[in-house]
């Protein structure tokens, strides 16, 4: 009798699936979501808009009107095009598949977004992780040496980085881009609403750079829409590995509607930036807590014992991310999503039970 062990790749059998804990009944501060819902009137209008969607028809493979609206709203340079994905995860997967020549490699600073490595492995690409400095800044010389040695097909630079929150130095990134003459450099701006700095206006200034974004952190994680900005020469080739109907009709309709109300989402992001400052200041006052600078909607915090803190917060029905086992540089670190004022107050109360 044939079993999965007879058919499935050995490296896949050895993997674990991406862990997403059940957050029912918890204050959910583990996934960098926007805690604010849409204003009721706007939500009602969105519902009316979605009611008119033809669910019996396949979505447009390349919804030109939506793409043009993204270009206008987000300030995409005239020399660039836009490729849509089912969240940034699918775009990363498309990049891996398209670039998976025999012996090709993907390079990124570590610790970083785990999907760079996972997607590379699933496409049979070798992943090269270059450790950050102890303060989570780029080790630029190590990056340059690794690029020279490995000649990677793809280099990822998250701006800011997850899970550290670091906004890498622009001059360091420019040196890496200049050195990566045989690579496609992907600048991941998933947290741009909270960083307020971007490489997007310069996306057409480099021959080997694309900029990746998502609407998830802007407050629309549930619709699963990511987009890649770059010169048509790159995007036309990447489009060949895109599943033909990868963004569904409800996602397209919701994005089209809400991009006309992006001021509401921008206002929510501004509130979260304020809350980030307040939360960072308050956590830094707790005994044993080291808060690292963050340009995202989360904080990386080193504590005396991350496992005990994580479990104690669970007893208070607060769910955060224990990242302490992800990389040696993250020893005893937890990642705290910035929530609403009430959620942050409950988080602080729970933290005080451990850090005293």
Q: DSSP string covering 303-349, please?
A: -S-HHHHHHHHHHTTEE-EE-TTT-GGGTTEEEEE---HHHHHHHHH
Could you tell me the pLDDT band of residue 261, with boundaries at 50, 70 and 90?
A: very high
Q: What are the residues whose beta carbons fall under 8 Å from the beta carbon of 272, sequence distance 6 or more?
A: 34, 35, 194, 297, 338
For the record, the structure tokens of 36 come out as 């604010």
HSE-up (13 A, CA, CB side) for residue 118 = 15
Residue 15 has pLDDT above 90, yes or no: no
Could you tell me the pLDDT band of residue 58, with boundaries at 50, 70 and 90?
A: very high
Q: What are the residues whose beta carbons fall under 8 Å from the beta carbon of 346, sequence distance 6 or more?
A: 27, 316, 318
Could you tell me the pLDDT band of residue 218, with boundaries at 50, 70 and 90?
A: confident
Residue 350 has pLDDT above 90, yes or no: yes
- Confidence (pLDDT) at 77: 97
Q: What are the residues whose beta carbons fall under 8 Å from the beta carbon of 163, sequence distance 6 or more?
A: 111, 298, 300, 321, 323, 326, 330, 333, 335
Q: What is the pTM of this model?
A: 0.95
- Confidence (pLDDT) at 164: 98
Is domain 4-40+263-354 annotated with CATH 3.90.1150.10? yes
Could you give the CA distance from residue 263 to residue 74 in angstroms, rounded to a whole number?
12
- Confidence (pLDDT) at 325: 94
- Confidence (pLDDT) at 16: 85
**99-157 pLDDT, tens digit each:** 999 999 999 999 999 999 999 999 999 999 999 999 999 999 999 999 999 999 999 99
- Confidence (pLDDT) at 23: 84
| Tokens 């900005």, located at residue | 229
The CA–CA distances, whole Å, from 35 to 13, 101, 293, 340 equal 36, 41, 21, 6
Pairing of the two strands 105-110 and 154-158: parallel
Map residue 122 onto helix, strand or coil.
helix
For the record, the structure tokens of 332 come out as 């005893």
- Confidence (pLDDT) at 217: 84
**294-318 pLDDT, tens digit each:** 999 999 999 999 999 999 999 999 9
Could you tell me the pLDDT band of residue 20, with boundaries at 50, 70 and 90?
A: confident
Indicate the DSSP class of residue 291: E
Residue 4 has pLDDT above 90, yes or no: yes
Query: By percentage, how much of the chain surpasses pLDDT 90?
Result: 94
The CA–CA distances, whole Å, from 217 to 16, 137, 223, 274 equal 25, 23, 11, 16
Q: What is the CA radius of gyration of the chain?
A: 21
Is domain 54-261 annotated with CATH 3.40.640.10? yes
Helix ranges restricted to H, the chain: 4-7, 10-13, 40-51, 64-74, 87-98, 114-122, 140-150, 170-179, 192-195, 232-238, 249-258, 262-284, 306-315, 341-354
Residue 161 has pLDDT above 90, yes or no: yes
- Confidence (pLDDT) at 178: 97
Count, in order, helices (H) and strands (E) of the chain. 14, 13
| Domain residue limits, the chain | 4-40+263-354, 54-261
């Amino acid at each position: 009798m044939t079993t999965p062990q007879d058919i499935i790749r050995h490296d896949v059998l050895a993997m674990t699936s991406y862990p997403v804990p059940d957050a029912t009944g918890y204050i959910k501060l583990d996934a960098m979501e926007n805690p604010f819902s849409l204003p009721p009137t706007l939500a009602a209008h969105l519902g009316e808009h979605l009611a008119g969607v033809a669910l019996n028809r396949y979505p447009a493979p390349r919804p030109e009107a939506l793409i043009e609206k993204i270009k206008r709203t987000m300030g995409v340079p005239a020399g660039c095009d836009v490729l849509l994905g089912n969240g940034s995860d699918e775009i990363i997967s498309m990049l891996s598949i398209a670039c998976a020549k025999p012996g090709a490699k993907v390079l990124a600073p570590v610790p970083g977004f785990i999907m760079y490595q996972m997607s590379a492995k699933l496409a049979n690409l070798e992943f090269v992780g270059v450790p950050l400095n102890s303060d989570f800044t780029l080790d630029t010389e190590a990056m340059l040496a690794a690029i020279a040695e490995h000649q990677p097909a793809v280099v990822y630079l998250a701006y800011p980085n997850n899970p550290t929150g670091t906004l890498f130095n622009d001059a360091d990134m420019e040196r890496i881009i200049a050195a990566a003459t045989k690579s496609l450099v992907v600048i991941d701006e998933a947290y741009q609403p909270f960083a307020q700095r971007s490489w997007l206006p310069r996306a057409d200034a480099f021959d080997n750079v694309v900029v990746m974004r998502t609407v998830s952190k802007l407050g629309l994680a549930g619709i699963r829409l990511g987009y890649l900005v770059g010169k048509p020469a790159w995007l036309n080739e990447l489009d060949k590995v895109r599943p033909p109907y990868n963004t569904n009709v409800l996602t397209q309709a919701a994005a089209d509607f809400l991009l006309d109300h992006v001021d509401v989402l921008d206002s929510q992001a501004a509130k979260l930036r304020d809350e980030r400052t307040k939360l960072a200041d308050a956590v830094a006052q707790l005994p044993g807590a080291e808060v690292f600078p963050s340009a995202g909607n989360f904080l990386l915090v080193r504590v005396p014992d991350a496992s005990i803190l994580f479990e104690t917060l669970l007893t208070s029905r607060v769910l955060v991310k224990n990242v302490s086992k992800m990389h040696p540089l993250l020893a005893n670190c937890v990642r705290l999503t910035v929530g609403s004022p009430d959620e942050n107050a409950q988080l602080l109360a729970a933290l005080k039970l451990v850090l005293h």
